[in-house]
């Protein structure tokens, strides 16, 4: 499958590398390829700059958000939650119409330092905001209750005896996402219901989520 991972941070990198390892054709989307490939300093989490990661993963292409989304069959939103709507807009509404978008971001506000707060809570969620803004995109919220390393390798903790969740309005989209999660090693995927149910899972996200 052709999959676009939007976001070049540690979550996007981890997800893209694993999906490529599983045999998918993966493209990482960024606002500016030139800027991303010119980074020379570690990120805010102390990880090596993106060009080093890209050099170690030649099987993953790097493209603009729009180019990555236009060529993909499925899209993963791994951008910082604060900028997710803007990034997805840059990917292009026309490039996302009819496609499954797996939203693994969280609405974390780091403006006051650690631990972060939520910039949307209780009566709304980031997943709902994305679905409202892109009504023709089949949004499924998933994998936002853990760090990136556990997302792609649940067996590293307690042998993988865990439950993960999906929320979304499109049942077929949730089935597709569930199959992808199972390929990552998740054996118990619970369908919580429509996209509004992502309000609950968002409140259990790890504060160190990147």
Please report whether residue 35 resides in a domain.
Answer: yes
Please report whether residue 207 resides in a domain.
Answer: no
Q: Any idea what the CATH number is for the domain that residue 150 is in?
A: 3.40.50.720
Please report whether residue 208 resides in a domain.
Answer: no
Please report whether residue 210 resides in a domain.
Answer: no
Q: What is the mean pLDDT of each run of 10 residues along the chain (210 residues)?
A: 97 97 98 96 88 97 98 96 93 98 78 56 84 98 94 92 95 98 96 94 49
Please report whether residue 40 resides in a domain.
Answer: yes
Please report whether residue 118 resides in a domain.
Answer: yes
Show the domain range for 154.
Answer: 2-202
Please report whether residue 142 resides in a domain.
Answer: yes
Please report whether residue 175 resides in a domain.
Answer: yes
Task: Tell me if the pTM is above 0.75.
Answer: yes
**How buried is 181 (Cβ within 10 angstroms: 0-12 exposed, 13-18 middle, 19+ buried)?**
buried
- Per the structure, the count of domains in the chain is 1
Half-sphere exposure of 138 (CA within 13 A, CB side): 14
Digit-coded pLDDT (tens) for 42-99: 987 788 999 999 999 999 999 999 999 999 999 999 998 888 999 999 999 999 999 9
């Amino acid at each position: 499958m052709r999959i676009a991972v939007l976001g070049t941070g540690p979550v996007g990198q981890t997800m893209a590398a694993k999906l490529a390892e599983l045999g998918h054709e993966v493209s990482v989307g960024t606002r500016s390829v030139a800027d991303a490939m010119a980074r020379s300093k570690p990120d805010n989490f102390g990880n090596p700059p993106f060009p080093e990661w890209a050099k170690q993963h030649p099987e993953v292409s790097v493209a603009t958000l729009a180019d990555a989304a236009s060529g993909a069959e499925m899209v993963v939103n791994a951008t910082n939650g604060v900028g997710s709507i803007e990034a997805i807009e840059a990917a292009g509404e026309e490039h996302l119409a009819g496609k499954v978008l797996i939203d693994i971001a969280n609405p974390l506000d780091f403006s006051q330092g650690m631990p972060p707060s939520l910039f949307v809570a209780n009566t709304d969620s980031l997943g709902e905001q994305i679905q409202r803004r892109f009504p023709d995109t089949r949004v499924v919220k998933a994998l936002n209750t853990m760090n990136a390393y556990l997302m792609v390798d649940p067996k590293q903790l307690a042998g993988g005896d865990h439950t993960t969740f999906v929320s979304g309005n499109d049942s077929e989209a949730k089935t597709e996402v569930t199959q992808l999660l199972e390929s990552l090693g998740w054996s118990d995927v619970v369908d919580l219901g429509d996209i509004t149910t992502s309000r609950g899972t968002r409140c259990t996200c790890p504060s160190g989520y990147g």
